[in-house]
Chains A and B, each alone.
Chain A
Amino acid sequence: MSAPRLAIEALSAISLRDGNRPILRRVSLAVDTGEVHGLVGESGAGKSTIAKAILGIIPSQVKVTHGRIGFEGRDLLALSANDLRAVLGRDIALVPQDPSTALNPSRRIDVQMTDGLRLKRGLSAKQARLRARALLEEVQIRDPERVLDSYPHQLSGGMRQRVLIAAAFALEPKLVIADEPTTALDVTVQKQILRLIRSLQERHGTSVLFVSHDLGVVAKICDRLTVLYMGKVMEQGSTADVLAAPRHPYTKALLAANPRYDRPDTGLEPTPPEVIAALRAEIAAFDAGVAGSRDG
């Protein structure tokens, strides 16, 4: 069993502005080579904090208090800024959530795509543009020359997301972090984009950490899931196991609250108060345990 590509171990973080409120509570998860791992949770669960921790862009009011982010044997949290930048540019890439704000509106697409190639690989402008064109073809854009010469506002949301995916895979990274990449898209476009991510990932053997609040989306593209609530891992396992036979009451509640078009009366079940109380108790017990071990 080879070592996982990404191994997050007992990651904890607090919010300095909020009276040291815990944001992450000893989160551990592992992503193997070629695996698509879903990080699922509602808003405020801490999913984007984890993504930011990997990318080294945690905001200043958040502080990591414990844990390790192992990537190919090195702890990303312990790297110097320069070393981290080298790793990020080469081996880890991001597909961001909102295609309309992730692209610079005043620069053409070709420039934005070739920046990275020219900087990191030393390609000339012409070589970089050829490579960018090939990438756009890989993400099934039928008229890559026109797209390369366009500005972001001239492209549709789905097209922009394809460009961002192409840019993410441009340097053949080992790990791609997809941060809610389809949330801003129409459902038919979403399916195309998911298909695209999956095929690119399979072709290049890339590992993907897929962050989402949508159980349906992760069901279709992820091999394994980590369910997060208030910064704590509630359940982990293969997608099939977690969704078909959930063990944790939170996962069950999430599934029950999800409306399904094939079952008319779903989507009207809010989380029962007992479950919420039990969850709060679980979190409180965890926090007490951490405090106790710190003092002890």
Chain B
Amino acid sequence: MEHWSPASTIDTAPQPPSVAARLLRDPKVVCAGGFILLLIVVAIAAPWVAPKDPLAQNLLMATTPPAGFADAEPGFLLGTDGLGRDVLSRVIFGARVSLTVAFVAAGLACLIGSLLGLLAGFFGELVDALISRLVDVWMAFPPVLLSILLIAVIGTGLHSVIAAIVVIDWTRFCRVVRTETRNQAQMDYVVAARTIGFSRPAILFREILPNVVPVLIALLTLEMGIAVVVEAILSFVGLSVSSDTPTWGGMIAEGRQIVHEAWWVLAAPLAALFATVVAFNQLGDGLARSLDPVLRR
């Protein structure tokens, strides 16, 4: 039976809430996460969810307004564009491209950058010097130029958009992870692990990595938002996928030219883009906070 000091306030704390429970309590995580999840489901199920074929042109139905406005056509909820294609269906299919880029590009940049950051932060000295110099030199290249150069060499398409994003943004992960790893490496529990006799790789992956993950996740979701915007920019200037596949950037480019006659052609993809980026940012924010109340206590 333990003796309690007068100042101790915890007798027997109730069973700690699981990670999932804690996440679900944060409104940001729930709302933003829910939206992204919905978007993913819709994008995957696009062929069945989209009301019309996104490529089907119908010049008789060109530039009809969204439902609720005068001259709207039934069946075209968000109206049609200059070639009579259903805007809603195009937005839904456009989500496929955006989300693919978001997850693949951000994921790869995260993987590469984090691995190098972990190694640099943990092993220090020569390894750190090499990796840090590499990052410094790499970041000296102007990113826009680099991506255009890359696409000029590889050719346009989804793979080059992803490559461009990975090639530029891995450095961001590397720097942040390196700093966080260095901080964690100073903690007493790392010294404790050394005292107990764990090997260096074991310490890196079992003690340090779990404490770096919260920062990583926040950065990853932020990067996803960035990737979506970069893809939109590249498809806006026609450097992304072929002009057949609907992309939000491409739709914005088209919609821009007829914005006075058919504002909805610009507004719909813009709104989708905006909502998605905001959702990623809020999700990252909420995740960072609720996954890491531990260290910030």
Contact = CB atoms under 8 A, between A and B. Distances in A.
A279 B6 contact: yes
A270 B7 contact: no
A250 B6 contact: yes
B186 interface: no
A230 B6 CA distance: 8
Interface in A220-239: 229-230
Interface in A51-105: none
B3 A271 contact: yes
A140 interface: no
Nearest to A21: B9
Contacts of B1: 273
Contact of A44 (B3, B4, B9): B9
A271 B7 CA distance: 11
B199 interface: no
A43 B4 CA distance: 14
B18 interface: no
B13 to A, nearest CB: 15
Interface in A7-56: 42-45
Contacts of A130: none
B9 A270 contact: no
B6 A273 contact: no
A276 B1 CA distance: 14
Contacts of B7: 42-45
A45 B1 CA distance: 25
Nearest to B3: A270
B12 interface: no
Nearest to B4: A276
Interface string A149-162: 00000000000000
A189 B104 CA distance: 60
B5 interface: yes
Chain A CB count within 10 A is highest, among B1, B3, B6, B9, for: B6
B-side interface size class: under 10
Contacts of B3: 270-273, 276
Contacts of A279: 6
Chain A CB count within 10 A is highest, among B3, B4, B5, B7, for: B7
B234 to A, nearest CB: 44
Contacts of A272: 3
A271 B3 CA distance: 8
Interface residues of A, number: 14
Nearest to B9: A44
A42 B9 CA distance: 13
Contacts of A45: 7
B113 to A, nearest CB: 33
A270 B7 CA distance: 12
A234 B96 CA distance: 69
A54 B129 CA distance: 54
Contacts of B4: 273, 276
A277 B41 CA distance: 58
A224 to B, nearest CB: 22
Contacts of B6: 42, 229-230, 250, 253, 271, 276, 279
A24 B1 CA distance: 30
Interface in B160-187: none
A250 B1 CA distance: 21
A42 B8 CA distance: 10
Interface in A241-296: 250, 253, 270-273, 276, 279
Nearest to A271: B6
A78 B61 CA distance: 74
A271 B6 CA distance: 8
Interface string B1-36: 101111101000000000000000000000000000
Chain B CB count within 10 A is highest, among A253, A271, A272, for: A271
A243 B6 CA distance: 19
Contacts of A253: 6
Contacts of A44: 7, 9
Nearest to A254: B6
Interface string B282-297: 0000000000000000
Contacts of A273: 1, 3-4
A102 B131 CA distance: 39
A45 B4 CA distance: 15
Contacts of B9: 44
Contacts of A271: 3, 5-6
A272 B3 CA distance: 7
18 contacts: A42-B5, A42-B6, A43-B7, A44-B9, A45-B7, A250-B6, A253-B6, A270-B3, A270-B5, A271-B3, A271-B5, A273-B1, A273-B3, A273-B4, A276-B3, A276-B4, A276-B6, A279-B6
The 9 nearest A-B residue pairs measured at CB: A42-B7, A44-B7, A270-B3, A43-B7, A271-B6, A276-B4, A273-B3, A276-B6, A229-B6
Given A42-B6, A273-B1, 4 more contacts: A230-B6, A270-B5, A271-B6, A273-B3
